[in-house]
A = this chain, B = another copy of it.
Amino acid sequence: MSKAEFAPEATARLIEQGNRRALARAITLVESAHPDHRQQAMALLAALLKDRQAIRIGLSGTPGVGKSTFIESFGLHLVGSGLKVAVLAVDPSSARSGGSILGDKTRMDQLSRHPGAYIRPSPSQTHLGGVARRTREATSLCEAAGFDVVLIETVGVGQSETMVAEMADLFVLLLAPAGGDELQGVKRGIMEMADLILINKADGDLKSAATRTCADYAGALRLLRKRSQDSEDFPKALTVSALEGAGLRQSWEEMQALVAWRREKGVWARTRASQNAFWFNAELRHALLTRLEHDPEAAEASRQLQQAIHAGDIAPSLAAERVVDIFLRPKA
């Protein structure tokens, strides 16, 4: 989109009317790091209606747990009930692996062809912070486009769960059936983020293992249930079979129950407010550092001081203060 022809208001209206092509182009725009595109993206986000809210569901699970199959089945269940569903992804590895979710899209064959669904491949940027910031803006675009549910998938690498939790209303952890010992394998931090733990593959030979695993997690969750803001019933563990479609309706009912409870108690609004504060701080850090990087005098000072550090003439902390002094001094 060239600078001249981009009309934020008109684009915003197209997105709100459900124009998929406008939505896709807008997501590409928010994903771009080009300064002109950032300006356009911000104008577009400012022009959008803010009164539409989707249920944003963060979804994490280790590879092999059947996440694509789950998204396909669960997504089809939702669109089958007349809901509009968008699927986004925070996948910091996609830059390296060549975009794993593109593969997912072909695997989510039925869902991707359903008119009520929209599946967006993960942006291929190497920097997790960048991917997450843009995915959050893509989520806002999907909300304005009238989607009822936005599923935000993460591959569970590094801090991606934390990032996704900061943009989701609910966090779902998908796990495979396992022996009791493997309970330790799930990082405690992720357990603590989860509102709902779904043990997938509760079918065929694995059905009894899934039931046992579910009971193990239910026990572990009782110990973690300390979050005073939550209802007494959550976090909760359930078994599902993405393959056979079992447990999907119940999972969705549980999610809706939690959403209703959180809306009633004001938790929903408080969470969104604190998430906005989190992203404002992240954007602030990013914006400031971008300005520093583009300041020619600071860049030159930085180059010279790095040599002085290398020669052992100055400590990194003192050199950093000097660069900041140069960056912030009034320009002629």
Interface residues, chain A, with chain B CB atoms under 8 Å away: 38, 41-42, 45-46, 50-51, 133, 137, 140, 185, 273, 276-277, 279-280, 282-289, 291-292, 302, 305-306, 309-310, 312-321, 323-324, 327-328, 330-331
Other 18 A-B pairs with CB < 8 A, given A41-B317, A46-B318, A280-B320:
A42-B317, A42-B318, A45-B318, A51-B312, A137-B315, A273-B310, A276-B309, A277-B309, A280-B302, A280-B306, A280-B319, A282-B316, A284-B324, A287-B324, A288-B292, A288-B324, A288-B327, A328-B328
Name 24 interchain pairs, CB-CB below 8 A, sorted by A.
A38-B317, A41-B317, A42-B315, A42-B317, A45-B318, A46-B314, A46-B315, A50-B313, A51-B312, A137-B315, A137-B317, A276-B310, A279-B317, A280-B305, A280-B306, A280-B309, A280-B320, A283-B321, A286-B320, A287-B321, A288-B324, A291-B324, A291-B328, A330-B330
Whether A316 pairs with B42 at a CB distance below 8 angstroms is no
Main secondary structure of the interface of A (DSSP, over half): helix
CB-based contact B42/A276 at 8 Å: no
- The list of the 6 closest CB pairs from A to B, nearest first, reads A283-B320, A50-B312, A45-B315, A280-B316, A284-B320, A279-B316
